[in-house]
Amino acid sequence: TKWVYRFGDGAAEGGAADVALLGGKGANLAEMASLGLPVPPGMTITTEACLFFFSKGKALPDDLQAQVLSALVDMEKITGRTFGQGPHPLLLSVRSGARASMPGMMDTVLNLGLNDQTVQALGHDSGDARFAWDSYRRFIQMYGDVVMGLDHEVFEEVLEDEKARLGHDYDTELSAVEWQHVVSLYKQVIEEELGEAFPQDCHLQLWNTIKAVFSSWTNTRAVTYRTLHKIPHDWGTAVNVQAMVFGNLGSTSATGVAFTRNPSTGENSLYGEFLVNAQGEDVVAGIRTPQSLTEEGRLASGSEKPSMEKLMPEAFAEFRDICNRLEAHYGDMQDVEFTVERGKLWMLQTRSGKRTTRAAMKIAVDLVDEGVITREQAICRIDPPSLDQLLHPTIDPRVERVVLGSGLPASPGAASGEIVFTAEDAVDAEAEGRKVVLVRIETSPEDIHGMHAAEAILTTRGGMTSHAAVVARGMGIPCVVGAGGLRVDLRNELLIGPGFTLKKGEMITVDGSSGQLLKGDVPMIQPALSGDFGRLMAWADETRRMTVRTNADTPQDARAARSYGAEGIGLCRTEHMFFEGGRIHVMREMILAEDEAGRRAALDKLLPMQRSDFTELFTIMSGLPVTIRLLDPPLHEFLPKSAEEIIEVAAAMDMEPALLSRRVEALHEFNPMLGHRGCRLAISYPEIAEMQARAIFEAAAAAASETGAPVELEIMVPLVGLRSELDYVKACIDKVAADVSRETGLDIGYLAGTMIELPRAALRAHVIAETAEFFSFGTNDLTQTTFGISRDDAASFIPTYQRKGIIEQDPFISLDFDGVGELIGLAAERGRKTRPDLKLGICGEHGGDPASIRFCEQMGLDYVSCSPFRVPIARLAAAQAAI
């Protein structure tokens, strides 16, 4: 088996297409090497070797050694150095690199190949003994932590003590001799703590490190990260073994990270940070605050420290050129890492850069304008659920801002919450339903769960590429980093700034767009959906086949949905109108009436209320289809439940509490979801359906004469299982339609249809379609009735099912294609056989879920309908499904 793929010196054995085998980092290093870019030579040990390693109880393949050694010989030839000996020792970096990026979750070892001999050689060779001993101690520290399992804090302590003894404040103040002494202390502490010596055999160092990096695939952090990001656990990681280049060889050396465009706004300008005389990990760790790459960036940040553009003009020019080439080559914004070693530029990594949704939009649209990608590609570049980020509120510009401090605007949007200082407190607060802002000096991968639980994140240290910034952008959580004017006192749980001290639990607002931290809970407004968003969505609208409607019960919902681009109403749940204001009393009068006459009297009062609601809805949706569903829930849902409520309601209705109590009891059902609801109500009490139909038709007539454009009216009967049920209810509606037509002199057209919410309805679709002119799949109930899982009780065991691997997805969130989906396919096919122009749609929650929308496209449905906020998501997902 070929386990090792080489790269370097203008050639490579793999390429960008080999991500599954070589991991993202390895595949792109190979690609860059093939492009002739300056990449330190190296090799990638495949993910297959990692899978082998785990399948054999953590043993490496027998034939791996020879392949690694042979690739090492190549690296020696290219670099003119020798691994494990002088006079020019070859040092290695050994890094993980999985198929999907898992920033900071797995292990890395740098400067491998140093021992008591090679450190001397490195000193002579570089002419910098201090650098050599510093590198050696860094290596021992990383190796001791990653391979030997000694907590890195043990080393930190040794170093801090030594610095204190020597009277140094900063690492940079230590001399060669002093670092040499730290090395001996490090070796000593390893022996003391582990009873074993730090290995001098460089080959042993290498093999142990390869195994440790493979093993880090299953460390707790990495496993949690994969679970959160739905990355399969059986992919494994590759290991990249590469010749070291040094950003810490004095003032002509540097290391940095960059995005080829701004990852926060999407603006087309090189964006990044670097540190002079530093090694790679120093930038990401956020320990020193880095400098801007470009002059433009420096000016924007108001920093005094010179940019790379100014400081290293030649290396910078080459770097900018390479960034442009990489973007053109990959057709996307790249996130790159580089090092300058004594003036010579080296590229260490490139990958598609993580970005905010706003930036993703702008970049996709700009790349189309630049002729780099097609509109279809642009549409597919945006993850539909991420549009949610654009719907995030921002701070109302009319309110006065009480600014407590500011930092870098790392992730846009604004949010308020109580201050908490630990990830655990954030998680606990979320569980109690409280909103919190997580305030940290800086964050690390250990804080991920707390970051998830928080509304916003604030750190006092670190740059735009610090852990907090990268992760928050990925999660779409507002974030401000590097708020240097503020101080976190962890022990006393205080956030201290100029002239104020805030305690844990106090409200603050983080504005990730401006970088400001504001006092209290600040009013927010919804963003405008124009510009790049508008253009990309317009392309999506041209591309998709299905229409997107909304589930809206109120004029307010309907208006919001229209502003998000809804093309009609797919479901109006009329019962929601009965809960408003004083209507519930009239509704109760109707339900509690002794006979039909009593019910009709109450219904006469409800009629004008429903009519005015419908008129407003129809006016808002003028010219578009509107599906009104007849009353669906069991009647006792409208009645009081507790004894206190019964007393209250009885008093309001001028009724004996005992009598009311008896009526409530009489309406009690053991299994209401399968009880007296849906069309069963209309069959028991046709006068209810008649009233609703009259309200609908009269409203349609009124709206049509007002707007001049008739609505496309659809009346929907819920929970039908038998054609005869639909026939009965349709006859009631038809009669009212004829009456209203006669009374108004208007011919009011409408379609009569049904929801498909029961397996029987799906199976008998060909028969039901003889009456129904449209079907709307009510996948909430259809999932409930197909699985026999109560949708209101599922939450008590579905998470357990998921944890135990019984099911992967909650079927109430993402459609069960195999079971419920088969019923949908069957019903669509059978229904259309009877009635070729049968309109088909979906109005369950799944109508806003991208995976389910793709399925609807495959089934050839005419439309999806979802809640107003998800309309943009559905528009985009429907377009992607059609591509």
- Considering CB distances under 5 to 8 angstroms, the limit depending on partner class, which of Mg ion, ligand PEP, none binds residue 844? ligand PEP
Q: Which does 104 bind (CB under 5 to 8 A by kind): Mg ion, ligand PEP, none?
A: none
Minimum distance of ligand PEP from residue 793's CB (angstroms): 15
8: tokens are 């370097």
Residue 571 contact partner, candidates Mg ion, ligand PEP, none, CB within 5 to 8 A by sort of partner: ligand PEP
Distances (CA, A) of 260 to 269, 270, 465, 693: 7, 5, 13, 60
Is residue 389 within 8 Å of residue 494, measured between CB atoms? no
Q: How far apart are CA 693 and CA 729, in angstroms?
A: 10
Which entry of 50, 323, 392, 467 is annotated as an active-site residue?
A: 467
Tell me if 257 sits within 8 A of 272, measured CB to CB.
yes
Residue 868 in contact with ligand PEP, rule: CB under 6 A: no
Given the complex with Mg ion, which of 569 and 609 has the nearer CB atom? Answer: 569
Q: Residues binding Mg ion: what is the number (CB under 5 A)?
A: 3
Q: Which stretch binds ligand PEP (CB under 6 A): 113-121, 212-220, 776-784, 799-807?
A: 776-784
Q: Is there binding between residue 843 and ligand PEP (CB under 6 A)? A: yes
698 binds, among Mg ion, ligand PEP, none (CB under 5 to 8 A by kind): none
Of the pair 427, 716, the CB lying nearest ligand PEP is at: 716
Pick the binder of ligand PEP from 309, 335, 687, 781 (CB under 6 A).
Answer: 781
Residues 740-769 within binding reach of ligand PEP (CB under 6 A): 757
Of all residues in this chain, which one has the CB nearest to Mg ion in the complex?
781
d(CA 102, CA 218) in angstroms, rounded, equals 12
> What tokens appear for 98 in the block?
């999985």
- Smallest gap from Cβ 572 to ligand PEP, in A, equals 10
- Could you say which of Mg ion, ligand PEP, none residue 405 binds, taking C-beta under 5 to 8 angstroms by partner kind? none
CA distance 763 to 675: 21
User: Which one of ligand PEP, Mg ion, none interacts with residue 573, CB within 5 to 8 A by kind?
Assistant: ligand PEP
Residue with tokens 């909304």: 550
Nearest distance from residue 780's CB to Mg ion, in Å? 5
- Regarding 778 and contact with Mg ion (CB under 5 A), the answer is yes
CA 457, CA 480: separation in Å to the nearest integer?
6
Collapsed DSSP state (helix, strand, coil) of residue 711: coil
In angstroms, what is the minimal distance from the CB of 212 to Mg ion?
54
Q: For residue 527, give Cα distances in angstroms to 94, 392, 762.
A: 45, 7, 41
Nearer to Mg ion, 585 or 760 (CB): 760
Site for ligand PEP in 558-577 (CB under 6 A): 571, 573
Residue 883, class by beta-carbon neighbours within 10 Å (0-12 exposed, 13-18 middle, 19+ buried)?
middle
| Window of 106-114, 179-187, 349-357, 773-781 that interacts with ligand PEP by CB under 6 A | 773-781
CB–CB of 253/340 below 8 Å? yes
> Least distance in Å: CB of 673 to Mg ion?
9
The structure tokens listed for 234 are 């059986």
Shortest distance, CB of residue 848 to ligand PEP, whole angstroms? Answer: 12
User: Any idea which residue has 């305030």 for tokens?
Assistant: 439
3-state secondary structure at position 292: strand
Which of ligand PEP, Mg ion, none binds 224 (CB below 5-8 Å, type-dependent)? none
- The distance of closest approach from Cβ of residue 640 to ligand PEP in the complex, given in angstroms and rounded to an integer, is 22
430 binds ligand PEP (CB under 6 A): no
CA–CA separation, 140 and 200 (whole Å): 11
**Among 107, 327, 781, 845, which residue sits at the site for Mg ion (rule: CB under 5 A)?**
781
Pick from 781, 790, 729: which is nearest to 760 by CA?
A: 781
* Phi, psi torsion values for 530, nearest 5 degrees: -125, -155
Contact between 553 and ligand PEP by CB under 6 A: the answer reads no
Footprint of Mg ion on 11-30 (CB under 5 A): none
Q: Report the nearest approach of Mg ion to the CB of residue 678 (Å).
A: 8
- Kindly state the smallest distance separating residue 721's Cβ from Mg ion, in Å: 13
DSSP string, 227-274: HHTT--TTS-EEEEEEE---S-SSTT-EEEEEESS-TTT--SS-EEEE
Please identify, using beta-carbon distances, which residue of 335 and 781 lies nearer to Mg ion: 781
Which lies closer to ligand PEP via its Cβ, residue 557 or residue 757? 757
- Backbone phi, then psi, for 572, in 5-degree steps? -115, 110
Structure tokens at 294: 């470009």
Dmax (CA) for the chain in angstroms is: 106
Nearer to Mg ion, 472 or 571 (CB): 571
779 binds ligand PEP (CB under 6 A): yes
- From residue 626 to residue 655, the character string flagging contacts with ligand PEP as x (rule: CB under 6 A) and all else as - is ------x-----------------------
Which CB sits closer to ligand PEP, 460 or 783?
783
Give the nearer residue to ligand PEP in terms of CB position, either 442 or 845: 845
What does 779 bind: ligand PEP, Mg ion, none (CB cut-off 5 to 8 Å by kind)?
Answer: ligand PEP
Contacted by 280, from ligand PEP, Mg ion, none: CB < 5 to 8 Å by type: none
CB atoms within 10 A of CB 743: 12
- What are the angstrom distances between the C-alpha of 660 and each of 2, 254, 548, 596, 672? 80, 80, 44, 18, 20
Instruction: Determine the Cα–Cα distance for residues 727 and 665; give it in Å rounded to an integer.
Output: 32
- Using CA atoms, how far apart are residues 585 and 602, in angstroms rounded to an integer? 10
In the complex, the smallest distance separating the C-beta of residue 271 from ligand PEP, rounded to whole angstroms, is 45
Q: At what angle do helices 47-55 and 202-215 cross, to 10 degrees?
A: 80
Of 362-370, 468-476, 649-657, 779-787, which part binds ligand PEP (CB under 6 A)?
779-787
**Which residue is catalytic, options 50, 323, 843, 856?**
843
Residues 63-92 that bind ligand PEP (CB under 6 A): none
Candidate residues 778, 811, 841, 848; the one interacting with ligand PEP per rule CB under 6 A: 778
Length of the chain: 883
Nearest residue (CB) to ligand PEP, 587 versus 843: 843
Question: For this structure, is 392 an active site residue?
Answer: no
Residue 432 C-alpha from the chain's centroid: 23
User: In the window 707-766, what residues touch Mg ion (CB under 5 A)?
Assistant: 757
792 backbone φψ class: left, alpha, beta (φ>0; ψ -120 to 50): alpha
Residue whose CB is less far from Mg ion, 374 or 780:
780
State which residue, 443 or 783, has the beta carbon closest to Mg ion.
783
CB closer to ligand PEP, 406 vs 785:
785
Q: How many CA atoms lie within 13 A of 755 on its CB side?
A: 27
- Token pair in block for residue 312: 């290293």
Active site residue 676: no
Q: What is the DSSP letter of 61?
A: -
340 near 33, Cβ under 8 Å? no
Enumerate residues 337-366 that contact ligand PEP by CB under 6 A.
none
Q: At what angle do helices 176-194 and 152-166 cross, to 10 degrees?
A: 140
Whose CA is closest to 436, among 506, 359, 353? 506
Question: Does residue 138 sit in helix, strand or coil?
Answer: helix
| Interactions with ligand PEP, residue window 392-411 (CB under 6 A) | none
Closer CB to ligand PEP, 687 or 757, in the complex? 757
Identify which range of 532-540, 642-650, 705-713, 778-786 contacts ligand PEP by CB under 6 A. 778-786
Binds ligand PEP by CB under 6 A, chosen from 445, 844, 868, 872: 844
How many beta carbons lie within 10 A of that of residue 676, not counting itself? Answer: 15
Is residue 757 a contact partner of residue 722, using CB atoms and an 8 Å limit?
no
Contact between 847 and Mg ion per CB under 5 A: no
What letters, b where the CB count within 10 A reaches 16 and e where it falls short, cover 31-40?
bbbbbebbbb
Instruction: Using CB under 6 A, list all residues that contact ligand PEP.
Output: 571, 573, 632, 757, 778-781, 843-844
Instruction: Using CB under 5 A, list all residues that contact Mg ion.
Output: 757, 778, 781
Residues involved in catalysis: 467, 843
